[in-house]
Amino acid sequence: MHLKIAILLLGTAAFARSVYDPILTSSMDPSSYANVDVIQTYDFTLTVDVSFDQQLIKGSNILTLRAIQDVSEIVLDYQGLVIESASYQIPNISTTAWNEAYFETQTDSQLGNALRVYLTDKAKRGDQVLLDIKFHTTNESLAINWLTKEQTSSGTLQYLYTKCEPIHCRGIAPLQDTPSIKTTYSAYVTVPQPYRVNMSAVCLSQDEYPQTKTTMYSFRQTIPIPSYLLALVIGNLAQKTIDYRTSVITEPDTLEEYAGILKNLGNLLNETEKYVMHPYIWGKYTILVLPPSFPVGGMENPLLTFASPTIMVKDGSQIYVATHEIAHSWSGNLVTCKDWSNLWLNEGFTTFIERRVSAIVDGEGFASVESLLGNASYYDDMAGYGQTNSYSSLYPLVNHTSPDSASSQVTYEKGQQFMEYMKNQFDKETDFQEFLGQYFNKYSYQSITFLETRLTFNDFVRAKYDSVKAEGIISRVNWVDWVQTPGPIPAGSKINFETDESRAFQKLADDYIALGGYSSPANLDIYTKEDKNVNLKVVFNNQILQRQGDMNYRILSRIDTDLSVTASENPEIGQRWFPLAIALNYDKAFDTAKHYVQSIGRQKYILPVYTALVRNGYRKQAYQWYNERKTFYHPIAAANIRKIIFSSRKQLEGYEEQIQNSRDVDNLFLQ
C-alpha cells in the first residue's frame, strides 16, 4: 500500500515529528479510518453555503463525540475536500473556549483520506468532545453530484444531490464515515433563491435574506442514523401529499404524473408495517424522484427516499423499487449492518420483505417472477466473481478495498433466498414474521453483524418450539454454508421460484426459436394480453437473450412484428431487447435504441446497450449517440460510457461480464 502523507502545521508553535505513525483503518470497520473504538460521534451540526456558480460547498462540521476510553487524538474520514482548520473543546475539563488543533492527513486511493486531529488536552473516558472542522469541497468529491439545467426534466435550474452509500459521505463533510455507529444531526444549508432544499431530516425553518438573495434551510434528524443515510438535494423542487404520511417530491413538470403512479404508496407502507410486526418509527415517508439523468435506481434515505424516474412506468412493473426502499425503513435504517461485509443484513432482509409484501399486494406469482429474475442476475454476478471468491458469499472480505467492488446481486438475492429458507423451517409464516418483529425491536437503533442475528434466531426458535423441534430447525439452518461459503445456495435447500406462468413465457421464447422465424407460436397472445404481471414479458426477453446464439434476424423480426417489443416503454425489456437487436443487426430497432439511451441516465439500462454497440462493430455510432447527449448524462455515467467506447476488446469483455443482467450495475465503476 502506497500512502501519500501531508502534515499540516497550525498555530504559532513549531510542530514536527521525526517518526510518522501511519493511520490504520478502524478495528471495527476496515472501510473507515475513524477511531470509533476509542471515541464516537453521537451528534453533528453541518453548516454550509452552496454556490452553483462555483460548484462549491463551503462550511463547517461540528461533531459532538464521547470518549470510550482515554484519548488524545481523533481520526475522521474525508474525500474530495480541502480541510481549512480544526479546533476543539472539552467542556468538562476547563472552559468553553475553542482550542486550535494540529492535524495530519493521509490519502488512500481506495478509501479516501484520513484526518488525524491532535487534542492538547487528553479526553478522559466518558468526556464529551466538540470538534469543529472547517472545509470546502472540490470537484473530486464522489458524493456530490452537480447537474446542469439540461440534465433536469424542467430545464429551469441547476440541481444538486448526494449519494453516500457505502463510503461516500466522507465526500460531503469530514466525519466518522462508518455504519458501525449512528448519530443524530442538524444542518443549516444556505442556497441562492429560488432553490429549494430537502434532506434526510425534518425541515424546521426557511429563513430568507433579501440582501443576499439567499435562503437558509434548517434541518434536524432526531433518530440516530449511520453516515451513509445523510442526504441532500437542491433544485427546482415541489411536493405533493399522497395520504396522511406519504408524499412525493420532484420537479413541478412531473409532479402530478408521479403522484398518480405512486397513489398506492401509503398502502405499500401499511402492508410492510403489518408484515414485519414492528411500527414505522420515521413519521412521514417521502419519495424524491430525481431527474432522468440520475444514474442509479434508488436510495433509502430516511424521510427522503431517492428514486430514478425509470421506476415511474405506467404499467406498475417497477413499483417493487418503492416497496424495497420502504422495507429498508426497518432493515438497514433501523437495524444496520455493522460493516460492509455484513451488507446482506440490509439488502437480503429488505429484498425478502419486499417480495413478501409484493406477494400480499400483487399475488404470489408476481413475487415469484421477481425472485426468478433476481436469481438469474445473482448467478451472473457469481460467474463474474468466480464461485470460490468471497464476493460470491454473503460475507465478502472487503479489507482495505472499496466496498463498492463487492456490491452485487449476491447480497440481495442469495440473502433473500436464505431468508426464504429460514421462513420455510417454521410451522407457519406468521411465526417467522414474529421473529422479524422481535429482531427489529431488539436491535433498533443499533449496528450489528450476522453473529447477533444468528444468536437471536436461535433464541427465538428455542423459545417458540419444543426442544426437539427447535434443535432440528437450528441444525438445518447452517449459517456457515449460507453466509460464509462462496457459491450457490446449499444443496437440498428446495428454493424454486418458477411458476406455471413463467415456464409458459420461457416456452414461448423457445417456440419462437424452434420455428426459426418462419411462423409464429399459436399461443403468442399470452404475451400480448398480459397486463397484470408484466414482468413475465421480461422473463420472455431474458430467455431469448440467454439463447442469443440460437437467435437470428428473421426470428427477432418475427417476434417484433408479433409482440411490438421495440415499442415497449418498460426499461427492463429495453435493457435486454436492444443489446440483442444490435447483436443481430436488427436495424429496425436502432432509432428506438438511440432514443432509449439518450433519454435515460440510469446505468443499469444504458451501459448494456453501449456495450453491445461496441462489441458488434458500432463503436463510431456509440460515440455519436453519446456525444449528442454528453451534457445530459451524469458524470459517473458519462465516464463509464467513455470507458466502454474507448476500451479494448479484453477490457470490454470484463465490463460486460459485470453489467449483463445485473440490477446492481448502479454501483459499478464508482471506486
Question: Catalytic annotation on 195?
Answer: no
Q: Is 136 marked as a binding-site residue?
A: no
In which element (H, E) is residue 345 found?
Answer: helix 344-362
Q: Which three cell numbers stand for residue 234?
A: 437542491
Question: Catalytic annotation on 325?
Answer: yes
Cα(41)–Cα(62) distance, rounded to whole angstroms? 10
DSSP 37: T
- DSSP strand pairing (238-241 vs 246-250): antiparallel
Residue in the structure block whose three cell numbers are 429498508: 328
Cα(401)–Cα(29) distance, rounded to whole angstroms? 12
**Are residues 222 and 277 in contact, defined by beta-carbon separation less than 8 angstroms?**
no
Strand ranges for 193-293 from DSSP E: 196-199, 202-209, 214-225, 232-235, 238-241, 246-250, 285-289
**Are residues 216 and 437 in contact, defined by beta-carbon separation less than 8 angstroms?**
no
Residue 71 Cα distances to 29, 102, 134, 271, angstroms: 19, 15, 22, 47
Provide the residue type at 312 as one letter.
M
What angle (nearest 5°) sits at the alpha carbon of residue 317, between those of residues 313 and 321?
Answer: 90
Cα(474)–Cα(354) distance, rounded to whole angstroms? 25
Which of these is catalytic: 33, 159, 195, 412? Answer: 412
User: Burial of 548 by CB count in 10 Å (0-12 exposed, 13-18 middle, 19+ buried)?
Assistant: exposed
Cα(33)–Cα(75) distance, rounded to whole angstroms? 7
Cα(535)–Cα(222) distance, rounded to whole angstroms? 40
Could you tell me which of 108, 151, 30, 164 has the C-alpha nearest to residue 670? 164
Burial annotation 110-119 (CB, 10 A radius, 16+ → b, else e): bbbbbbbbeb
Please tell me the total number of residues recorded for the chain in this structure.
Answer: 671
**Are residues 415 and 433 in contact, defined by beta-carbon separation less than 8 angstroms?**
no
Provide the residue type at 283 as one letter.
G
Residue 457 Cα distances to 57, 336, 474, 492, angstroms: 45, 16, 9, 21
Strand order in the sheet with 99-100: 99-100, 81-89, 128-137, 56-67, 39-51, 183-192, 214-225, 202-209
DSSP codes of every residue in 606-633: HHHHHHHHHHTT-HHHHHHHHHHTTTTS
Q: Is 364 marked as a binding-site residue?
A: no
Residue in the structure block whose three cell numbers are 446542469: 148
Cα(160)–Cα(178) distance, rounded to whole angstroms? 23
Cα(595)–Cα(553) distance, rounded to whole angstroms? 21
Could you tell me which of 398, 406, 486, 333 has the C-alpha nearest to residue 29? 398
**Are residues 207 and 136 in contact, defined by beta-carbon separation less than 8 angstroms?**
no
Phi, psi (5° rounding) for residue 377?
A: -70, -35
**Are residues 268 and 357 in contact, defined by beta-carbon separation less than 8 angstroms?**
yes
Provide the residue type at 71 as one letter.
V
> How many CA atoms are closer than 13 Å to the CA of 535, on its beta-carbon side?
19
Which of these is catalytic: 271, 300, 325, 420? Answer: 325
Strand ranges for 210-293 from DSSP E: 214-225, 232-235, 238-241, 246-250, 285-289
Terminal CA-CA length for the chain: 16
User: What's CA 594's distance to the chain center, in Å?
Assistant: 27
Q: Is 328 marked as a binding-site residue?
A: yes
Bridge partners, residue 237, by sequence = none
Q: Which three cell numbers stand for residue 183?
A: 448519530
Which residues belong to the annotated binding site for Zn(2+)?
324, 328, 347
Task: Tell me the catalytic residues.
Answer: 325, 412
Binding-site residue numbers are 324, 328, 347
